[in-house]
Protein backbone atom coordinates (compact mmCIF):
# COMPACT_ATOMS: atom_id res chain seq x y z
CA UNK A 1 0.00 0.00 0.00
CA UNK A 2 1.15 3.55 -0.62
CA UNK A 3 1.60 6.20 2.07
CA UNK A 4 1.97 9.92 1.46
CA UNK A 5 2.69 12.33 4.32
CA UNK A 6 2.15 15.88 3.13
CA UNK A 7 2.50 19.29 4.80
CA UNK A 8 1.60 22.66 3.33
CA UNK A 9 5.22 23.04 2.28
CA UNK A 10 6.28 19.66 0.92
CA UNK A 11 5.79 15.94 0.52
CA UNK A 12 7.63 14.49 3.52
CA UNK A 13 7.19 10.83 2.55
CA UNK A 14 5.78 9.01 -0.49
CA UNK A 15 6.45 5.29 -0.77
CA UNK A 16 4.96 1.83 -0.46
CA UNK A 17 4.80 0.40 3.07
CA UNK A 18 3.55 -2.78 4.75
CA UNK A 19 2.26 -1.32 8.03
CA UNK A 20 1.18 2.10 9.33
CA UNK A 21 0.66 3.01 12.99
CA UNK A 22 -0.43 6.49 14.07
CA UNK A 23 -2.21 8.46 16.77
CA UNK A 24 -5.72 9.70 16.14
CA UNK A 25 -7.68 11.96 18.46
CA UNK A 26 -9.45 8.82 19.75
CA UNK A 27 -6.23 6.84 20.33
CA UNK A 28 -3.58 4.92 18.46
CA UNK A 29 -4.44 2.61 15.57
CA UNK A 30 -2.80 0.60 12.84
CA UNK A 31 -3.48 -0.02 9.17
CA UNK A 32 -2.46 -3.03 7.09
CA UNK A 33 -2.99 -3.75 3.41
CA UNK A 34 -6.66 -4.43 2.67
CA UNK A 35 -7.92 -2.36 5.62
CA UNK A 36 -11.41 -0.92 5.24
CA UNK A 37 -11.67 2.71 4.24
CA UNK A 38 -11.13 5.07 7.14
CA UNK A 39 -10.80 8.78 7.81
CA UNK A 40 -9.48 10.07 11.11
CA UNK A 41 -8.44 13.34 12.70
CA UNK A 42 -4.87 12.99 13.95
CA UNK A 43 -3.51 14.13 17.27
CA UNK A 44 0.02 15.37 17.93
CA UNK A 45 2.08 12.20 17.92
CA UNK A 46 4.20 9.76 15.97
CA UNK A 47 3.40 7.87 12.80
CA UNK A 48 5.41 4.65 12.53
CA UNK A 49 5.77 2.66 9.33
CA UNK A 50 7.24 -0.71 8.44
CA UNK A 51 8.42 -1.98 5.10
CA UNK A 52 9.83 -5.48 5.46
CA UNK A 53 12.32 -5.36 8.33
CA UNK A 54 12.79 -1.57 8.10
CA UNK A 55 10.92 0.72 10.49
CA UNK A 56 10.72 4.52 10.35
CA UNK A 57 9.07 7.11 12.54
CA UNK A 58 7.71 10.57 11.71
CA UNK A 59 6.22 13.26 13.89
CA UNK A 60 2.73 14.18 12.77
CA UNK A 61 1.46 17.32 14.44
CA UNK A 62 -2.26 16.82 14.05
CA UNK A 63 -4.02 16.76 10.74
CA UNK A 64 -6.11 14.25 8.84
CA UNK A 65 -5.59 10.66 7.68
CA UNK A 66 -7.55 9.11 4.82
CA UNK A 67 -7.17 5.47 3.80
CA UNK A 68 -9.00 4.02 0.78
CA UNK A 69 -8.13 1.33 -1.77
CA UNK A 70 -4.68 0.71 -0.21
CA UNK A 71 -3.76 4.40 -0.54
CA UNK A 72 -3.07 6.32 2.69
CA UNK A 73 -2.84 10.09 2.73
CA UNK A 74 -1.79 12.06 5.81
CA UNK A 75 -2.24 15.82 5.62
CA UNK A 76 -0.56 17.55 8.55
CA UNK A 77 0.72 20.99 9.45
CA UNK A 78 4.16 19.64 10.35
CA UNK A 79 5.89 16.29 9.87
CA UNK A 80 9.50 15.39 10.54
CA UNK A 81 11.38 12.15 9.90
CA UNK A 82 12.74 10.84 13.19
CA UNK A 83 16.26 10.55 11.82
CA UNK A 84 16.31 14.31 11.11
CA UNK A 85 15.33 15.42 14.62
CA UNK A 86 17.92 17.05 16.89
CA UNK A 87 17.45 15.11 20.14
CA UNK A 88 19.20 17.67 22.37
CA UNK A 89 17.10 20.52 20.97
CA UNK A 90 13.90 18.51 21.51
CA UNK A 91 14.90 17.73 25.13
CA UNK A 92 15.66 21.41 25.79
CA UNK A 93 12.30 22.40 24.30
CA UNK A 94 10.51 19.85 26.47
CA UNK A 95 12.14 21.09 29.69
CA UNK A 96 11.66 24.77 28.82
CA UNK A 97 7.97 24.30 27.99
CA UNK A 98 7.32 22.15 31.07
CA UNK A 99 8.64 25.00 33.22
CA UNK A 100 6.58 27.56 31.32
CA UNK A 101 3.49 25.35 31.72
CA UNK A 102 4.03 25.11 35.49
CA UNK A 103 4.21 28.91 35.70
CA UNK A 104 1.41 29.72 33.22
CA UNK A 105 -0.98 32.39 34.42
CA UNK A 106 -4.06 31.64 32.31
CA UNK A 107 -5.87 28.69 30.75
CA UNK A 108 -5.04 29.96 27.27
CA UNK A 109 -1.35 30.24 28.13
CA UNK A 110 -1.43 26.76 29.70
CA UNK A 111 -3.00 25.26 26.55
CA UNK A 112 -0.25 26.83 24.43
CA UNK A 113 2.50 25.31 26.59
CA UNK A 114 0.68 21.92 26.80
CA UNK A 115 0.75 21.77 22.99
CA UNK A 116 4.45 22.70 22.98
CA UNK A 117 5.18 19.94 25.50
CA UNK A 118 3.22 17.44 23.36
CA UNK A 119 5.16 18.44 20.22
CA UNK A 120 8.52 18.07 22.02
CA UNK A 121 7.49 14.65 23.37
CA UNK A 122 6.44 13.56 19.86
CA UNK A 123 9.81 14.66 18.46
CA UNK A 124 11.69 12.69 21.12
CA UNK A 125 9.51 9.62 20.59
CA UNK A 126 10.01 9.77 16.81
CA UNK A 127 13.77 10.19 17.24
CA UNK A 128 14.05 7.28 19.65
CA UNK A 129 11.75 5.01 17.59
CA UNK A 130 13.72 5.72 14.41
CA UNK A 131 17.12 4.68 15.76
Q: Which of 59, 88, 89, 92 is nearest to 76 (CA)?
A: 59
Indicate the pLDDT class of residue 81, thresholds 50, 70 and 90: very high
The pLDDT of 85-101, averaged and rounded, is: 92
The per-residue pLDDT for range 28-57, each reduced to its tens digit, is: 999 999 999 999 999 999 999 999 999 999
pLDDT bin (cut points 50, 70, 90) of residue 131 is low
pLDDT, average across residues 16-20: 98
The number of CA neighbours under 13 Å toward the Cβ of 9 is 5
CA torsion through residues 31, 78, 57, 11, sign: positive
* Residue-averaged pLDDT of the chain: 93
Amino acid sequence: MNLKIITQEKVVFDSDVDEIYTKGVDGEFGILKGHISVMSALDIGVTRIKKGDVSRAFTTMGGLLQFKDDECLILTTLAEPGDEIDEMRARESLERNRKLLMNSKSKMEAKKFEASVARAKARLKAKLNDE
